[in-house]
Amino acid sequence: MKAEVISIGTEILLGELTDTNSVYIAQALRHIGLDLIYMTTVGDNLERIAQVVNQALERVDIVITTGGLGPTVDDVTREAIAKATQRPLVFQQMLYDQIADRFRSFGVKMNENNRQQAFVPQGAIPLENPVGTAPIFILQTERGVVMVLPGVPREMTYLLNNHLLPWIKDYMGTPSLIKVRILRTAGIGESTIDQRIADLMTMSNPTVGLAAHSGQTDIRITAKAETETAADDMIAPVEEEIRERLGRWIYGADGELIEAHVMGLLTQRGETIAAVEVDTGGLLSKRLSEIAPTGTSPIVQALTFEGLAELSRLDVDLSLDPREIGTLAAKAIRERSGSSYGLAVIMYDDHEGETGEPIRAMTITVAAEDRSRSHHTRWTHRRADVTTWTTTFAIALLRRVMLHYEDEAI
């Protein structure tokens, strides 16, 4: 079966509210094996909501809406669903009494406009909302099922878990779940990964997909099965094949961070690191220090400078090209600190491009006692994630030098 989630609220479209409800529902549906195919957002407009619901019923089996169940003029979800399914709204005295009881328990007088919350499309199954004042309902039609949830996250979560999910599982019949395994890479581009595992990304169950982040790419293996054990058995051979093809580029799985992985390696091997960063806002030091294990930290020294001129403190010749400066800085901080590795991350403005804007550049060098490895990149535009990308790549390069993987091209 397939599902669609429709978030209703003009405030979402205006960017005034982040839609966390859809994310929560998506995760919940995954755990019961219901395939979420679409996520749609629509404003508080009766005609447009009706159109979206009607469209959803043409392409999925279960439609779940959130929002628009309040007592105000712009809360028109009930009317829109009634219009989309060509059913009249019917007053439910039971719901009205429950709403009135809720207001009495609050010690607040109920307004007349709350009466509209007691209406549901004809044939719908009304469900009480014990944590709020907006009842919900489930409507089965010849085209599929429509079920509604309030937009208030606390109410939505309770009603989804206690009413809708149990109903959906019974409706679906055969129990199933969707399990996801994430393999995490860093320092290798999404397109390169795609070239190496493209054939695996055409499978239907399990499926393989990519998600690119700043400086790293996740490989997602998703299996749908009746039990978690069965899903694991489906994922295992696919994961083994991916690891065979990408091997050294994969540093961890699921929620593991590249900085945690590298800090763990340093501690395990009894090695240390000293780092210097220029114009990164101290992000490298922050990422490494926050994840460093308790007790003796593998970080011997961490210097944060605001410009290339401050590298004079390491007795580096500032007349050289920034790439050469980076190499000298990595070697200098390693030697001065007596650490196993020196890491220099330097960001700077290169010569101006055609638009007159300075080109952003970065140079990264990892220096060990007997070897060093550098990487240089220039951007012709300002990336919002450039610092994250740079520091992620730097940590990945450190890992590769530590494990003697520097023979492979980046």
- Residue 337 burial (CB count, 10 A): 20
User: What mean pLDDT is predicted for residues 218-229?
Assistant: 91
Q: Could you give the CA distance from residue 166 to residue 127 in angstroms, rounded to a whole number?
A: 13
Answer for the pair 185, 246: CB distance below 8 angstroms, yes or no. Answer: yes
* pTM: predicted TM-score of the whole model, two decimal places: 0.70
Q: What is the DSSP letter of 34?
A: P
Residue with tokens 């979206």: 52
Q: What are 4-24's pLDDT values in tens digits?
A: 999 999 999 999 999 999 999
Give the DSSP per-residue string, 340-379.
SEEEEEEEEEEEE-TTSPEEEEEEEEEE-SS-EEEEEEEE
Task: Report DSSP letters for 99-161, one per residue.
Answer: HHHHHHHHT-PPPGGGGGGGEEETT-EEE--TTSS--EEEEE-SS-EEEEE-SSHHHHHHHII
- pLDDT given for residue 262 in this prediction: 93
Hey, what domains does the chain have and what are their CATH numbers?
2-172 (3.40.980.10), 177-253 (3.30.70.2860), 258-402 (3.90.950.20)
**Within the chain, how many helices (H) and strands (E) appear?**
13, 17
Omega cis (within 30) before 206 = yes
Cα separation, 97 vs 103, whole angstroms:
10
pLDDT at 381 over 50: yes
What tokens appear for 229 in the block? 């054990």
Give the per-residue pLDDT at 409: 47
The token pair at 110 is 């109920």
Strand partners, 253: 183
The per-residue pLDDT for range 45-94, each reduced to its tens digit, is 999 999 999 999 999 999 999 999 988 888 899 999 999 999 999 998 88
Q: What is the pLDDT of residues 265-283, one digit of tens each?
A: 999 999 999 999 999 999 9
Question: Among the ranges 210-224, 292-306, 367-381, which has the highest mean pLDDT value?
Answer: 210-224
Helix residue ranges per DSSP H, 175-275: 190-197, 228-246, 258-269
Using alpha carbons only, give the angle 361, 359, 362 rounded to the nearest 5 degrees. Answer: 5
pLDDT digits (tens, 9 = 90+) for 109-128: 778 878 888 899 999 999 98
Q: Would you state the structure tokens that stand for residue 208, as one six-digit string?
A: 């393989």
